[in-house]
Amino acid sequence: MNSTKNNINSRRESLGFFFFFFFLFAQLFSDRRYKAPLLVGSLLCMEKQGGIVTSNLLGSASRLLRKCLFSILSFGPMPTHIAFIMDGNRRYAKKRSIKQGVGHRDGFTTLTSNLKYCYEMGVKYVTVYAFSIDNFKRDSSEVRFLMDLMKEKIDELLKQDSVINRYGARVNFWGNLDLLSEPVRSAAKELMASTASNKGPVLSVCVAYTSADEIMHAVQEVCRERRERLQREHGRVNGMGNETDSDVSVADLEQHFYTAGCPDPDIVIRTSGETRLSNFLLWQSTNSHLQNPVRLWPEFSLRHLIWAILEYQRVYSYLEDTRNLSKKNE
Amino acid sequence: METHLIQMYMRLANEFARTFDSLFHRIQSSMILKFILGLFWHLLHIAVSLVHIWSYVIQQLRCYIISSGLFAKYRNFSLSRLRYLAVIVDSQEAKHTAKIKQLLSWLSAIGVKHVALYDAEGVLKKSIDFGQTRLRDRSAGTCLDGDVNCVTSLCNYEEMSIELLSFTDGKEGIAKAASFLCSDYLKNDSDDCGRTETLFTEANMTKALKAVGYYGPEPDLLLVYGPARCHLGFPPWRLRYTEIMHMGPLKSMKYSAIVKALYDFSKKYQNYGS
């Protein structure tokens, strides 16, 4: 009698462990809204045995599975620079019937998790389009909310245990920062300064940015440099310079972009299915694979990122050919 | 008994995690591991290809339904929002001038009035010769705005104006406009900061582009014919709010696919950031 009872118990335990790992694997690939119930499911499987599995164990098991997946992906060519246009926060909030602010907050959570996945995969540069100069046209309360959210998140990133410090990442803020309010601007500059010497992966956040504004800024900087050089050489500017002094080349402009020193993006992903670039990295995305998944940004999870990488790997040889051709053209 | 088992499993899992990490590094260079990884990678890509095959089948079905004229919405939609259309063609495929001309005649049949054709290497500029076909007015020196100083090739074809562009019309055009602005800036001797602010504006860049002959209107829709969805160096100043649609390779182009793309465009809504 006792032995049969023990047999039944041990069978139940092994079944419990099987389902625990099944739910763990499933939550890795699931949507945000299914992650929690699947995790609870895995915990319940363990609960029968009376133990509460620590979050560390779950976390390290997930990390392990992700590591396996990324090793498989790395067999093919991996991108060095991925750019995200984080579109669809407001539509997500409308869809879930939650406040717009919560939609933006969920968007930031998605950003940190995707950053984590990209850095684990070995993608060294990640650029995100956080706020366009055109977005200042929005309702002033929404703009103020977004600015406050940005300040709050920058302050969070400055803390010791943030995802930035865990990976030793360097943070850049690209854009016309003078258009931002003083608290946000100073917080951004502080974050840039504190991470400037980091040697790890690079996160570039485009705030108050448009490609057209970046090009004009570069032109202005080049002209200012030329004038200063002429003033040094000739004392005065008017009429002393040659014709060639005002010649600006493509390389001159590229040296003065915000993106100078950063390689061109390999993939530009715009979520929510929109097909336009909306003034984002127009100069730098010459040979980038432009992708527009239908998912909204807060719903963009690991499996969508993996799909994006697989799509890039499919067309990699074509992109390499065009890249080599445009190098020849320059 | 149960707690003992739990503790054992927990310890085992921790040990497993720790040793797996060190084992990982050691066997990373192993040939067997590479073989297994390669196998899984190819399996993943086979799955992706299957999904692509499925969506290709759906697309062909849709094209067949559209060309049969079953749905009225594909026959009567408004092209009023489409003022300027651009087409990017892969340079290798651009050598098939017969296909290009067929594409242009389809666009003309649909009712498109202004088209910009782009290919990165300038193959179209060299090979497109409208001499034998019905040609209205070959005005290679006239710009759309009537300015005489124009570098881009422009001609008419079946009541449609066609602009031919290549890689040099993009970044180099902006560099030349920047030189124009720079020479204007250096001519002025005073250190007037206000002048700097008024000179380096986007409106002045547009004027500078016109002055150096690299100006063109911004297309509303861009069709990409090639293996991948890339804009391959299309003039950045004209790509800001353009809807970009990937049509696949030129050799498998279909009239109904163009109709679908134009219909989808007519249904799009842009809020320009607000």
Beta carbons of B17 and A250 less than 8 Å apart: no
The predicted pLDDT at position B118 comes to: 93
Grouping H, G, I as helix, E, B as strand and the rest as coil, residue B75 is coil
Domain's final residue, options B40, B64, B88: B64
Beta carbons of B181 and A57 less than 8 Å apart: no
Number of neighbours of residue A51 by Cβ within 10 angstroms: 16
Beta carbons of A326 and B233 less than 8 Å apart: yes
The predicted pLDDT at position A241 comes to: 54
* Interval A281-323: pLDDT, tens: 999 999 999 999 999 999 999 999 999 999 999 999 999 999 9
Beta carbons of A248 and B178 less than 8 Å apart: yes
User: Which residues of chain B neighbour A283 with C-beta distances below 8 Å?
Assistant: 171, 236
A276 forms beta bridges with B243
The interface pTM score, or ipTM, of the predicted complex is: 0.81
Domain's final residue, options A51, A75, A99: A75
The predicted pLDDT at position B44 comes to: 94
At A147, the amino acid letter reads M
The alpha-carbon gap from A269 to the nearest alpha carbon of chain B, in Å, equals 11
Stretch A89-113: mean pLDDT: 91
Q: Is the pLDDT of residue B224 over 90?
A: yes
The predicted pLDDT at position A330 comes to: 66
Task: Give me the number of domains chain A comprises.
Answer: 2
The predicted pLDDT at position A35 comes to: 75
Domain that holds residue B21: 1-64
**Is residue A29 located within the same domain as residue A115?**
no
**Is residue B122 located within the same domain as residue B21?**
no
Closest chain B residue to the Cα of A47, Cα to Cα: B6
Give residue B68's pLDDT band: very low, low, confident or very high (50, 70, 90): confident
Domain's final residue, options B20, B40, B64: B64
* Interval A179-199: pLDDT, tens: 999 999 999 999 999 999 998
Stretch B197-204: mean pLDDT: 83
* Interval A121-157: pLDDT, tens: 999 999 999 999 999 998 899 899 999 999 999 998 8
Mean residue pLDDT across chain A: 86
- Interface residue A240 vs chain B (CB under 8 A): no
Stretch B65-75: mean pLDDT: 82
Number of neighbours of residue B2 by Cβ within 10 angstroms: 12
Domain's final residue, options A36, A51, A75: A75
**Is residue B51 located within the same domain as residue B85?**
no
**Is residue B226 located within the same domain as residue B140?**
yes
User: Which residues of chain B neighbour A64 with C-beta distances below 8 Å?
Assistant: 17, 20
**Is residue A71 located within the same domain as residue A83?**
no
| CATH number reported for the structural domain that contains residue B109 in this entry | 3.40.1180.10
**Is residue A98 located within the same domain as residue A214?**
yes
**Is residue A107 located within the same domain as residue A213?**
yes
B186 located within any domain: no
Stretch B62-66: mean pLDDT: 90
**Is residue B224 located within the same domain as residue B165?**
yes
**Is residue A263 located within the same domain as residue A139?**
yes
Stretch B173-192: mean pLDDT: 82
**Is residue A60 located within the same domain as residue A164?**
no
The predicted pLDDT at position A278 comes to: 92
Facing A216 at nearest CB: one of B2, B10, B205? B205
B189 located within any domain: no
Domain's final residue, options A75, A90, A123: A75
When comparing pLDDT for B58 and A31, which is higher? B58
Q: Is the pLDDT of residue B150 over 50?
A: no
**Is residue B34 located within the same domain as residue B95?**
no
Give residue A5's pLDDT band: very low, low, confident or very high (50, 70, 90): low
The predicted pLDDT at position B144 comes to: 45
Q: Which of A12-17's residues contact partners 24+ apart within 8 Å by CB, and which partners?
A: A12/A48, A13/A48, A13/A49, A13/B5, A16/A45, A16/A46, A16/A48, A16/A49, A17/A45, A17/B9
B107 located within any domain: yes
Q: Is the pLDDT of residue A45 over 70?
A: no
Task: Give me the number of domains chain B comprises.
Answer: 2
- Give CA separation, A85 vs A55, A127, A281, in Å: 32, 9, 10
B252 located within any domain: yes
When comparing pLDDT for B135 and A53, which is higher? A53
The predicted pLDDT at position B134 comes to: 35
B222 located within any domain: yes
Q: Is the pLDDT of residue A240 over 70?
A: no
**Is residue B219 located within the same domain as residue B140?**
yes
B181 located within any domain: no
What does the alpha-carbon distance between residue A256 and residue B174 come to, in Å, rounded to a whole number?
14
Stretch B6-30: mean pLDDT: 75
Give residue A4's pLDDT band: very low, low, confident or very high (50, 70, 90): low
- Non-local (6+) Cβ contacts of A58 within 8 A are A24, A39, A42
**Is residue B5 located within the same domain as residue B128?**
no
**Is residue B13 located within the same domain as residue B92?**
no
**Is residue A62 located within the same domain as residue A85?**
no
Domain that holds residue A204: 77-329
- Non-local (6+) Cβ contacts of B192 within 8 A are none
When comparing pLDDT for A263 and A245, which is higher? A263
Q: How many CB pairs under 8 A join A and B?
A: 191
When comparing pLDDT for B188 and A116, which is higher? A116
Between positions 264 and 303 of A, the ones with CB within 8 A of B are 275-279, 282-283, 285-291
**Is residue B42 located within the same domain as residue B161?**
no
Between positions 128 and 167 of A, the ones with CB within 8 A of B are 132-135, 137-138
**Is residue A81 located within the same domain as residue A69?**
no
When comparing pLDDT for B141 and B205, which is higher? B205
Q: Is the pLDDT of residue A84 over 60?
A: yes
The alpha-carbon gap from A310 to the nearest alpha carbon of chain B, in Å, equals 7
Domain's final residue, options B64, B88, B111: B64
> Is the separation of the CB atoms in A66 and A27 below 8 Å?
no
Token pair 């090979």 in the structure block, residue: B127
Which alpha helices (DSSP H) does chain A contain, by range?
2-29, 32-47, 55-73, 89-96, 100-121, 140-158, 163-167, 182-195, 211-234, 250-255, 302-314, 316-329
The predicted pLDDT at position A49 comes to: 47
What does the alpha-carbon distance between residue B85 and residue A202 come to, in Å, rounded to a whole number?
37
| CATH number reported for the structural domain that contains residue A193 in this entry | 3.40.1180.10
**Is residue A181 located within the same domain as residue A220?**
yes
The predicted pLDDT at position A328 comes to: 79
Q: Active site includes A87?
A: yes
Give residue A242's pLDDT band: very low, low, confident or very high (50, 70, 90): low
